[in-house]
Structure 1
Amino acid sequence: MKLKWTFLLLGLLLLVSSSAAHAHSNNSEGFSTIDVQDQTIHYRLQLDMVELSHAAGFKVDERQTDNVEALQQALTVNKELLQEYLNTHIHIYADSIPVEGTINEALIAQVKDRPFADLSLSYSAREKPENLILEYNAFFDDSDPSHANMAKVNMEENQQEFIFTYEVRELSLGEMSFLTKAKQFLSLGLEHIFTGYDHILFVISLLIGAMTIRHILSLVTAFTIAHSVTLALATLEIIQLPGKLVESAIALSIIYVALKNIFQPDTKHRPWIAFAFGLIHGFGFAGILSELNLGGGHLATSLLFFNLGIELGQILIVSLCFPIILLIKKRLALKWLLPSVSTAVLLFGFVWFIQRAF
């Protein structure tokens, strides 16, 4: 009987010791020092090395935490993994525009007699930010809910000390001026329309099927009103649709208009078609705004000028393309060109639909 209890006691001791050897460092600490210098945000981040290995998904020998060389090797080998972890768990917004960090240096430091990863990151903004928002989510949901990070932020004359915890994960410093907001989101809208090749091809397809300047004005107006409505509804989170569904539907809209241009070249597009598809494209335009950190005070101005940027981009596309399309239609020798363009648009639409739907 005594032998049985002896084996049971030994088993419990082994279990406890094994758990202790692999346990996370509950109540882990972190330290952040953030300095904004012109267009660059310098971020020095210190995190418990053992806890970081658990969270980011790489291994360190927890029995040899005093082996600095081995820990340094683990940091160096897993730098890309660390980069991915930090970029998905720490988000910085400069004037509401997300900026992505790059690890410049990764060293081992001793903090409170424990090995810490001492990481130096830099974030590049388009211009010197007036407002900085930091969302910190390291460790909380995947490793240590009791984690706390003591942060110090220096931004011109604004200095703030803050503690990130499970319950409080966002820090905001400074305030954007109206002109900065307007400029940022007007530029963002222009950039979005000129890099949104699916939207550009849809507008060009509408132009190919247009008969007169008055007709194209009615199509563009209907498309603009429709996408402005759904852009606002989606950004305000009144109506939300799955991104995969929206992107697939945008590809189908391109396919439909291209097919109509090929097989019914003499039938003009009706404004209600542009309006119906404009509703879908508006949800697509809203996708980029959903990625930004827009507080209530920023939302109205941001939405207004982002949409204005899109409209200016559309006007430029129409102004450049429609005269060329009219010229091609009047030249008999070039009439083969528009069906060829529509066929190419159709192929792009099919490829996008397959990529997005499956």
Structure 2
Amino acid sequence: MPDPLDRKVCMSSSRVVRAVVAGTVAVLALLAAAAPALAHVRTSDGWSQLRADGDHVDYRLGLEYEILARAIGMGTEAIEAPDDGGRRAQLDAQRALIEDYLRERILLLVDEVECTMRLTGADVQQQPATDATAEDIPYAVLDLDYDCHGATSGRYVVDYSVFSGAGSDAVVDDHTTTVDYDLGGERGRVVLDGGQTSFSAGRPSFGDSALRSAGLGVQRVLTGADHALFVAALAVGATGLAQLARGVAAFAAAGSVGLLAVVAGWVDPPEQLVGALVALSVVWVAAANVVGPGSRRRLPAVAVAGLLHGLAFAGELRFGDDLGWDLVTSFAGYDLGIALGTAALAAGLYAMASAARRHAWFPLAHVVAAAATVVTGLAWFVHRLL
């Protein structure tokens, strides 16, 4: 007579075998169902060539023409262009659209300062298909020029995210670009795809980076018309050297706070609104010079204006978000340059205004200059706001 315990063991073993068989069948069925979908995964290959040329980087980019046209919404006419001549015409007609797309998806930074990109050329080349029975594939060959703000060396970082968006540009499942580079005295080749979207080359040069960034800060103050006009009005309207020193110090300190807030990612103000408010700050300082140059509210108002100008300075020169010595050095140099440029411009103009005050025509000239500054600031405000 069989042992009841043995019968239970046999029944349990039978259930296990049936469960394993059922699970195997289910897995095979899922794989069979998924096979068609896996067979239709679409990939795209491209290539990139980067060469440093002084403080510029020449970037030649190759992308499948049809995928580029679909990704950025160039339209049916561009997608269905019958030959290379028609494709070249479409690339030329839609240069602004292509440039805007690539500017957001291929970032090049030197010591964490973002270079400025522009599209300088566009062509079409036929690339042999990998399948001998398929037709050659037309590629868009795009020439990009990156202005790296005086940087001829340093740590270069390339961040590449073409065809990887979650919206209309996600027309392929995976995109790969083979990068051949010569940056910062370093040559090499790297493959970028969805798993690796960036690489770095060269070595950081903290001293050169700080000097270069300081020079950029001075340049921004002297060449930015609204910033220079504000400092000029601040200097001409000062009732004494002590008042000017306090005003410049408040402007620089508040500007540093505004600059840091944007670079650190604490705030992200709309550039259009910031630009309009900066224009209003020019209007205020010019009007205050005539109405109440010795007002107690002048210093707090100058500090508020400095905060706005700091936000604007951050928008004019973009920094990366990789917190490290590269970013700290570039930020500190840029901020110091702004402060030095502001102080130098204010001191020079104050000296000139002090010499002019000895003449009888100065009061009238001051009022006329203030009125012209108010009109200019209001024109900037309306233009930037609209």
Q: Which residue of 2 aligns with 1:117?
A: 139
How far apart are the structure 1 equivalents of 2:46 and 2:139?
Answer: 10
Q: Which residue of 2 aligns with 1:91?
A: 107
Q: Are 1:134 and 2:158 counterparts?
A: yes
Q: What secondary structure is seen at the aligned counterpart in 1 of 2:214? A: helix
How far apart are the structure 2 equivalents of 1:265 and 1:157?
Answer: 55
Q: Are 1:319 and 2:347 counterparts?
A: yes
Alignment counterpart, residue 125 of structure 2, candidates 91, 108, 117: 108
Change (3 A) 1:355 1:128: same
Q: Which residue of 2 aligns with 1:15?
A: none
Whether contact under 8 Å (1:98, 1:292) holds in the other structure is: no
Whether contact under 8 Å (1:44, 1:118) holds in the other structure is: no
Whether contact under 8 Å (1:91, 1:98) holds in the other structure is: yes
Q: Which residue of 2 aligns with 1:239?
A: 267
Whether contact under 8 Å (2:64, 2:140) holds in the other structure is: no
How far apart are the structure 2 equivalents of 1:201 and 1:62?
Answer: 49
Change (3 A) 1:174 1:29: same
Q: What secondary structure is seen at the aligned counterpart in 1 of 2:43? A: coil
Whether contact under 8 Å (1:223, 1:277) holds in the other structure is: yes
Quote how far apart the aligned CAs of 1:336 are. Answer: 0.5
How far apart are the structure 1 equivalents of 2:80 and 2:370?
Answer: 66
Alignment counterpart, residue 262 of structure 1, candidates 287, 290, 305: 290
Identity %: 23
Which has the larger displacement, 106-115 or 221-230? Answer: 106-115
Which has the larger displacement, 100-109 or 184-193? Answer: 100-109
Quote how far apart the aligned CAs of 1:110 are. Answer: 2.0
Alignment counterpart, residue 310 of structure 2, candidates 282, 291, 296: 282
Which has the larger displacement, 36-45 or 295-304? Answer: 36-45
Letter in 2 for 1:78: L
Give the number of aligned pairs. 330
How far apart are the structure 1 equivalents of 2:232 and 2:56?
Answer: 39
Which has the larger displacement, 316-325 or 294-303? Answer: 294-303
Letter in 2 for 1:121: D
Q: Which residue of 1 aligns with 2:385?
A: 357
Q: What secondary structure is seen at the aligned counterpart in 2 of 1:78? A: helix
Q: What secondary structure is seen at the aligned counterpart in 2 of 1:135? A: strand
Q: CA RMSD in A?
A: 2.8
Q: Which residue of 2 aligns with 1:27?
A: 43
How far apart are the structure 1 equivalents of 2:196 and 2:77?
Answer: 30
Change (3 A) 1:214 1:38: closer
Whether contact under 8 Å (2:127, 2:138) holds in the other structure is: yes
Letter in 1 for 2:42: N
How far apart are the structure 1 equivalents of 2:290 and 2:310?
Answer: 26
Alignment counterpart, residue 322 of structure 2, candidates 289, 292, 295: 295
TM-score (norm 2): 0.76
How far apart are the structure 2 equivalents of 1:248 and 1:195?
Answer: 18
Change (3 A) 1:116 1:45: farther
Structure 1 gap segments, 5+ residues each: 1-23
Quote how far apart the aligned CAs of 1:25 are. Answer: 8.7
Structure 2 gap segments, 5+ residues each: 1-39, 130-134
Quote how far apart the aligned CAs of 1:117 are. Answer: 1.6
Letter in 2 for 1:138: V
Whether contact under 8 Å (1:210, 1:268) holds in the other structure is: no
Change (3 A) 1:263 1:63: closer
How far apart are the structure 2 equivalents of 1:211 and 1:89?
Answer: 50
TM-score (norm 1): 0.81
Quote how far apart the aligned CAs of 1:310 are. Answer: 0.6
